[in-house]
Amino acid sequence: MLRIDGLNAWYGEAQVLRDVALEVAAGEVVTLCGRNGAGKTTLLRSVMGLHPQQRGTVELRGKDLVRVPAYRRARLGLGWVQDDRGSYATLSVTENLTLPPQTGPKSWSLERIYEMFPNLYERRASPATKLSGGEQQMLALARVLRMGAELLLCDEPTEGLSPLLVQRVGEILRMVKADGGTVLLVEQNLHFATTVADRHYLLAEGRVVESMNNTEVRSRERELLAYLGI
């Protein structure tokens, strides 16, 4: 589904990503782990076409995306669940969900969205600014599911959420996987990551330094938590 090779990215003269190479197969959930500043968000932004200072190869289903703008990447099946939620502040929950176009055959209906996110159903007429932080995070995820993205790029979707909402995010991601969807997930909660993901890439100073499966992550959990500073 996604292949990245030799990806480099800069902010001005400061290099953030250094020859990153990774692959995500169709139907996989793969996490990106690393300390703050390791380049995880920049990597997702580069895949989505939102980071202009980059060089390297990014392919979606074998199609080179380097010269493809972000809006066309969305139409090709990429969905961006950003860490700042990105809701339309003055629009209602329902308007936030129905304004973006449905771009793929895996689009969730409003009925399914509201079934899986009952809080959003209860607040469906409320503007996004009136939602709690957790509800805004649910709205950001629901909006991408409504669009029908084939590959979800999720930037720390559990950050700041209650344990109950973290559990709900896990249920949603496992459902996406069961439906044949693919997820590239930035996540610092290692325990959560091992409950939803197939594999994990560890980033350090802008490089992929290790690839691990769930068994390896669980056996090294203390070491990895100490490394991540959690």
pLDDT digits (tens, 9 = 90+) for 19-64: 999 999 999 999 999 988 899 999 999 999 999 899 999 999 999 9
Q: 74: which 2 tokens?
A: 């969305």
Closest alpha carbon to 26 in 176, 193, 144, 147: 176
Closest alpha carbon to 146 in 123, 115, 188, 189: 115
* CATH number of the structural domain spanning residue 135: 3.40.50.300
Strand partners, 4: 22, 58
Average pLDDT, the chain: 91
The pLDDT assigned to 28 comes to 96
DSSP 62: T
Q: Identify the band that residue 85 occupies on the pLDDT scale cut at 50, 70 and 90.
A: low
Element (H, E) at 211: strand 207-213
Phi, psi (rounded to 5 degrees) for 227: -65, -40
Q: Compute how many other C-beta atoms are within 10 angstroms of the C-beta atom of residue 105.
A: 8
Give the model confidence (pLDDT) of 95-139 as tens digits: 999 988 887 777 899 999 999 889 899 999 999 888 888 888 889
Q: What is the rounded CA–CA span in Å between residue 178 and residue 229? A: 33
pTM over 0.75: yes
Phi, psi (rounded to 5 degrees) for 185: -125, 125
Give the model confidence (pLDDT) of 144-169 as tens digits: 999 988 999 999 988 888 888 889 88
The three-state secondary structure class of 53 is: coil
The pLDDT assigned to 129 comes to 86
Per DSSP bridges, beta strands 54-60 and 29-33 are: unpaired
The three-state secondary structure class of 183 is: strand
Angle at 175 between CA 160 and CA 230, to 5 degrees: 30
Instruction: Find out whether 183 and 173 touch, Cβ atoms under 8 Å.
Output: yes
Q: What is the rounded CA–CA span in Å between residue 85 and residue 137? A: 6
User: Which is more confident, 105 or 210?
Assistant: 210
Closest alpha carbon to 28 in 157, 180, 146: 180
User: Which is more confident, 211 or 66?
Assistant: 211
**Count of domains for the chain:** 1
Q: What is the rounded CA–CA span in Å between residue 183 and residue 149? A: 10
Residue-number span of the structural domain to which 159 is assigned? 2-228
